[in-house]
Amino acid sequence: MDSSTRKRLSSITSKVIMALAGLFLVVFLVVHLGINLLLLADDGGRAFSAAAEFMGTNPVIRVFEVVLFGGFLLHMAFGVMVSFQNRASRPVRYQHKNRSETSPLSRYMFHSGIIVFIFLVLHFIDYYFIKIGLVAPPAGIAPHDFYHRSLVLFANKGYSGVYLISFLFLGFHLNHAVQAAFQTIGLNHSKYMDAIKVGSTLYAIVVAGGFMVIPFWFILFR
Amino acid sequence: MNFTLKIWRQKNATDKGGLVTYNVENISPDSSFFEMLDVLNQQLIAKGEDPVSFDHDCREGICGTCSLYINGRPHGPLKGTTTCQLHMRSFRNGETIFVEPWRCGAFPVIKDLIVDRSAFDKIIQAGGYVSVNSGGIPDANTIPVPKSDADASFDAAACIGCGACVASCPNASAMLFVSAKVSHLALLPQGRVEAERRVQNMVAAMDSLGFGNCSNTYACEAECPKEITVANIARMNREFLAAKLFAEKEKQISFSL
Ligand code: SF4
Ligand code: FES
């Protein structure tokens, strides 16, 4: 190994870090979805607010919030780095569009990732920055009142539209991502790989679909 | 059959190059893709033009010399087939066929459709071998190998090093090729001895040569003429991680006079 090969983190190591950070986010999404679905309870937001309160104050969760941000940052930083290296590896491109059969939308992971990232920025401005006091909450809503904040946002058709599109792309991203993460960390087995692929798709449908139910619910029933 | 060909022509490694349109007529549906190109080249020679350069050797699908990115797919439209085993009956009469060289920074074009694939040789040199002579043919069953390992190793060893995996990959990654070589040796007792060192050195060589990173699109598996599976990539990742994390330090012996 000469010095030029040692400077760069190995491609496999980079991807394993990305995959592990991604799998952590996959677990986080389930927790977040579980709490969001409490918005649908017909209790004037009591259950949802209690959950938000718990997430906002429990010390274990506070620590995990830092881990979570770290996970997002790692996943995005490595995603961008790997994508740029990938583009650079084919300086002269083909004239004819590639027609090789690939895992659905797997070649657009960077693009779907960017859309999810944009949503994440909006989400931060709408919730997190208000919570930590960086952004003033809209009139009449307390900084910690996520329930009414959500009602106001989902009442806005434009916001709901952006939200729906973002989660559609998150679904595409997850459909490929979950099974790909298993493959990257080496968990490909002749007996289980088909189940992992089906599980990946089911997970994507349940999570993306679960989040998307919320604006529809607000549009139809509130 | 008649075809319109759009072929990448490039005088040498530094020339910019571009697609040139040619027409060929009265091609037998049973002629191979290369025989069709031979007909074209005869026409070009008769006109005093430079014939199209392309790589080929065995023309029977075993050497891995042929390449060609045909209508957006390495080795053309047939699954599990090299370009030399592709016949014109796989195309529609009158079809326009795009023919391009493999595209990857690590595979620079030498002329027309020929690329320099010595990057693969460098990866092999980094560890794709067994260092010691493994001796004569042992008696049957003196070295037992589980059937599943023998099968997987043999399947991986079928890789002919053509580079179609790199050519089809949206990231120009060489993971399928390298994983085939790593797997084929790591699964057998004779190759196991150096497995940890091998996987680290071969991956380091691959990374240093400028191939892209695998993003699991599996285009390689779909296009590999030897149908090498991506399970090999997962095996290589496992081997690599295990070696990086758990390989014992090798004792350094220094000689002094
Ligand atoms: S893995 Fe398949 S496509 Fe890649 S070099 Fe080997 S035979 Fe060719
Ligand atoms: S020419 Fe040998 S494999 Fe095609």
* CB within 8 Å: A94 and B103: yes
Give me ligand 2 centre to Cα B34, in Å.
10
Which residue from B33, B35, B59 has its CB within 8 A of the most atoms of ligand 2, so it is best to mutate? B59
Q: Which residues pair with B24 in a beta bridge?
A: B3
> Same CATH fold, B118-246 and B3-110?
no
d(CA A105, CA B244): 32
- The pLDDT tens digits for B16-51 are 999 999 999 999 999 999 999 999 999 999 999 999
Share of chain B above pLDDT 90, in %: 91
- The pLDDT tens digits for A18-43 are 999 999 999 999 999 999 999 888 88
Q: Which CATH class is domain A3-90+107-221?
A: mainly alpha
Report yes or no: B214 at the A interface, CB cutoff 8 Å. yes
Residues of B in contact with A96 (CB under 8 A): 69, 71-72, 98, 100
Q: Which ipTM did the prediction report?
A: 0.89
Longest Cα separation, chain B: 75
Residues of A in contact with B14 (CB under 8 A): none
Neighbours of B59 (CB within 10 A): 16
- The pLDDT tens digits for A40-60 are 888 888 899 899 889 888 999
The number of the ligand nearest the C-alpha atom of B57 reads: 2
Domain ranges of chain B: 3-110, 118-246
User: What is residue A3's predicted lDDT score, i.e. its pLDDT?
Assistant: 44
For tokens 């350069």, what's the residue?
A: B53
Q: Does domain B118-246 have CATH number 1.10.357.10?
A: no
**A positions 111-140 inside 8 Å of B (CB):** none
Domain ranges of chain A: 3-90+107-221
pLDDT at B75 over 70: yes
User: Of residues B252 and A203, which shows the higher confidence score?
Assistant: A203
Nearest CB partner across the interface for A10, out of B73, B98, B207: B207
Query: What is B3-110's CATH number?
Result: 3.10.20.30
Pick from B193, B199, B210, B192: nearest CA to B232: B199
Share of chain B above pLDDT 70, in %: 100
The number of the ligand nearest the C-alpha atom of B225 reads: 1
Which two tokens mark A207?
């999570």
